[in-house]
Structure 1
Amino acid sequence: MASFASDNTAPVHPLVLAALAAVNHGTAPAYGHDPVTKRLRETMAEVFKAPDVSVFPVFNGSACNGLALARMIRPYESILCHRQAHINNDECGLPEFFTGGKIVAIDGIGAKLTVTALGDTVERALQHAPHTSRPRAISLTQSTELGTVYSLEELAALTAFARAHRLYVHMDGARIANAVASLGCAPHEVMAGVDILSFGGTKNGAMLAEAAVIFNPALAEDFAYVHKRGGQLPSKARFVSAQLQALVEDGLWLELARHANAMAALLADGLKGNDGVTVLYPVEANELFVTLSRPVAQTLFDRGHQFYPWPAEGPDAYRLVTSFATTEAEVKNFLADIQARPS
């Protein structure tokens, strides 16, 4: 039996648990004034080659997105994102609640925004001012909700557009490790032109640990108030920071992401050529979107495999997600059950 339901179903990585145990002694200053959180900021500065970076640990990705966007826009302004973005479909209105502003959803192939689509949207909004919310921020999901990855060239074009139109750039990095691993580049290259990154740890081996990583010093100012007012300032911040530090200090985050990506690629290769199976999008990170004939899907469910239907991509569409904990044996077992299904 294999679980491809979500990378959220994976356990906490042993090195992350060990890091928690290591800081679980004695006392430490509260609310982020501890040495572990200080060291995390220093490590993030090294990893992203950003000496002025600010880091604010939080408990979950939705709140991290909401806080970042709340610092960027005013209630009469808008956030431009892809129609399939998490902030648009999966956060129960949290970004609007935190910001008071409006999300404007835009279409694009492979869950990616394009400069052309953004330009059309911004132009229409400004022509209708002040009756339409003023665009103020772009939110990019990296890797995307369909498992695709923005190339460095695509990111450069989008961030250049943002600068030309005085828009902030937020990056929803719930799976940022998978994107960096897929691109095979240095982490700082993916962040060029990004103002705030929602750095994801929970899907990549942590337990309730994310961080708002702020590259724009102007947005770091007063963020402590947004952090606190949003209910995301941990009193015992060392226990959140220790998890993220364990992931980033020696490159563990990218090692785990590379494994998850490799399992997704192995799964995709094995699915191709099977009757009743179609891979819908390029598999560039750790998510696959496929169509399965009903007999194939039912056989897999009957044999205990776990994955979700994904009706947004069609009546017979499903999502499969690998994680750092996915094993090659699980992938091969899943593929064997497809090939051994009754005719």
Structure 2
Amino acid sequence: MTDDDRTRTVRQYRRFAEVEAVDTSPLYAELAAAVAGDEELLDFLLALPAPKRQPNLLFAAVTFLHGTPRGPAELRGRVRDDGERVRATMLARFTQTNEPGRCAALVTALGAVEGPVGLIEVGSAAGLCLYPDRYSYDFDGRFVGRRSAVHLTCSTTGPVPVPDDVPEVVARVGVDRNPLDPADAGDQAWLRALIWPGPSEGARLDRLAAAAELAAQEPPTVLRGDLVDRLPEALALLPAGCTPVVFHTAVLMYLERARREEFVALVRSLEVRWIAQEMPGVLPGAAGSVGAPGRFVLALDGRPLAVTAPHGGRIDWLTGG
């Protein structure tokens, strides 16, 4: 551990407080700001591997074990008094926010893809974003799909190409290094712990429960392993006659830069359509040069289409998107 490690971790938590959580979760913004100035909590984090120091992972682990901490003092106490279990949970688990609300942006991009489609999601977690055809949507009063238990409301700006209907999906394949089972009580509890406290918490918990029930009734095919290593195998599982679509949301940001570039090169070499929702700067080229802090960039085949809310609910279409 070096001074640079400490500085990077402080910067990571300050950014989370000031950019990523400030509007959607005031409590998590407060907790992250407190961690950035707490030497004891920083020492705890710096004893972990660098990829395991994420704010999302720390707060989710404490919530998973003890419920959401009500403030910095309670967070500090939980880590101090139950540090071994918090550490073990952070080492064993991953940040796998599986938000079905992101499918509203996904279906706008899928509208430009000739169907039927075979979906491959890398970083699929419990696979809840592999069912865009089973959800229903409301884009500022424009309704898409038959009413579903997972009904997604999305506000928009710009010429969002709202599709006439949900996509025709003939295959669903997930790739994840640590797949979650939507029917497993422990995995469901972890997914709930990953939901940030705040104004949208109740709606997100309801969506999660409804989507998990649907996915448990019709589980997708899931390959355990690395997204680069197993993507060709996933592609081979799709039936003939469909358009292969590889997609991901908030996944590449957790990869080392070299591995990220290797994945992008692989996708570009395959005969697939490619839909990404990632933080600004994560994707190479034009798709990495647009967007705003705390938002995602929706891109099709590397071309930026829109800026979207990280947990769904808003799409701002780009000029020429």
Band of TM-score, shorter chain: 0.3 to 0.5
TM-score under structure 1 length normalisation: 0.33
In terms of Rg, which structure is larger?
1
